[in-house]
Chains A and B, each alone.
Chain A
């Protein structure tokens, strides 16, 4: 496992990410223009969706059913376990616990892409339909977590004699999650890719394939900078959340790998599924949580997701999940 860890640290994605963090530690003012950052994320997500759609057209229904089932199961397990640990071990309030559950129940698409690249590099590519599983895992976590938060909150308000005026309606949150950039580009890309098939893909692949890894490096450089910006917040969150940000992904990652292998995924596929379960969303979840649970402190969830769990997964988590998958396979 140590060898895989070392090899991972010296590969393009972690190096670009580390450079981003170092840039901030050096107090450099540099960052990518906001529009370039947005454009890169659109490119990456759409390329991911398209490729996934093309591959989905080849996959047999039988090969996807079991992985899709365990993915949905993971979508229920991760927010519930996060909520329980935050509430009963960390003694956080219901809103903060539910907010964190939404972040850790959802997926970080960038971590997912990094995991796919890692599997390709070590010669254990994941199944082509993995982006479909990503979209399946993206939203149940957020909804379960927000539902817990809203129910608990209404209970407290009623107990205090307040009126039951929830801030965000279910409809608004659904709309926010389903029309967010990640879902539109991924699901849209999957559908377009599915219908355009191999010949359509060949026409656009020079653009979407040859630039992919370079764009990913640039994106990770900026993610390093954004994570570096949050490093100062580590002092505010305390030792519990520091430990939480590393132990939780390890736990969810292991569960994901085991369920993935059980559902018949290859070692690479099981490791990517584990990575998805281990990752925490910092794009789709924060606005949804902010609108529904306004009293949850975003410093906790964003710092844990972006400054602890994300770097941990990129630098060490992915090789660890792959090692677990290999151990199960042999």
Chain B
């Protein structure tokens, strides 16, 4: 089957940042995203959730240039003050046009 190379961007963040980050993802060129909630602890463990230890994992599949923009934005905006990590992985998808915003 014909597949296309894309990037999977994974962002794990304090829940309070979810609305902000997901809004920004769309602005930066992502066509969609998935959010899951989970438990965990990072190196700081000081976030302000009502229930301690809850994090959100936000994932989006995007073209490489969009992935770079997203990671750069997240690192500039949030790494200093918040408990946030972001990483990229290579993925192969069918229906490549689904993950590319029409110019």
Interface of A toward B, CB cutoff 8 Å: 34, 37, 167, 226, 229-230, 282-283, 286-287, 289-291, 294-295, 297-299, 301-302
- In the bound complex, residues from chain B placing their C-beta under 8 Å from that of A34 are 51, 54
Quick one: which of B17, B48, B80 has the most chain A CB within 10 A?
Answer: B48
- In the bound complex, residues from chain A placing their C-beta under 8 Å from that of B16 are 286-287, 290-291
A230-B82 Cα distance, complex, nearest whole Å: 19
Main secondary structure of the interface of A (DSSP, over half): helix
Are A286 and B81 closer than 8 Å at their CB atoms? no
- In the bound complex, residues from chain B placing their C-beta under 8 Å from that of A286 are 16, 48-50
- B20 within 8 A of partner (CB): yes
- B47 within 8 A of partner (CB): yes
- In the bound complex, residues from chain A placing their C-beta under 8 Å from that of B82 are 290, 294
- In the bound complex, residues from chain A placing their C-beta under 8 Å from that of B59 are none
Nearest CB in chain A: distance from B53 CB, A: 9
Which 5 pairs from chain A and chain B are nearest by CB?
A294-B81, A286-B48, A298-B48, A290-B48, A287-B16
Are A299 and B46 closer than 8 Å at their CB atoms? yes
Are A298 and B51 closer than 8 Å at their CB atoms? no
A203-B54 Cα distance, complex, nearest whole Å: 38
Interface of B toward A, CB cutoff 8 Å: 14, 16-17, 20, 46-52, 54, 80-82
Are A302 and B51 closer than 8 Å at their CB atoms? no
Are B48 and A226 closer than 8 Å at their CB atoms? no
Are B47 and A298 closer than 8 Å at their CB atoms? yes
What residue in chain B is nearest A291 (Cβ atoms)? B16
A287-B49 Cα distance, complex, nearest whole Å: 7
Are A291 and B46 closer than 8 Å at their CB atoms? no
- In the bound complex, residues from chain A placing their C-beta under 8 Å from that of B50 are 226, 282-283, 286
- In the bound complex, residues from chain A placing their C-beta under 8 Å from that of B81 are 167, 294-295
What residue in chain B is nearest A299 (Cβ atoms)? B46
A229-B51 Cα distance, complex, nearest whole Å: 10
Nearest CB in chain B: distance from A281 CB, A: 11
- In the bound complex, residues from chain A placing their C-beta under 8 Å from that of B52 are 226, 229-230
- In the bound complex, residues from chain B placing their C-beta under 8 Å from that of A294 are 80-82
A34-B48 Cα distance, complex, nearest whole Å: 16
A226-B51 Cα distance, complex, nearest whole Å: 7
User: Can you name 23 A-B residue pairings with CB atoms under 8 Å?
Assistant: A37-B51, A167-B81, A226-B50, A226-B51, A229-B52, A282-B50, A283-B50, A286-B16, A286-B48, A286-B50, A287-B48, A289-B48, A290-B48, A290-B82, A291-B16, A291-B17, A291-B20, A294-B80, A294-B82, A298-B47, A298-B48, A299-B46, A301-B48
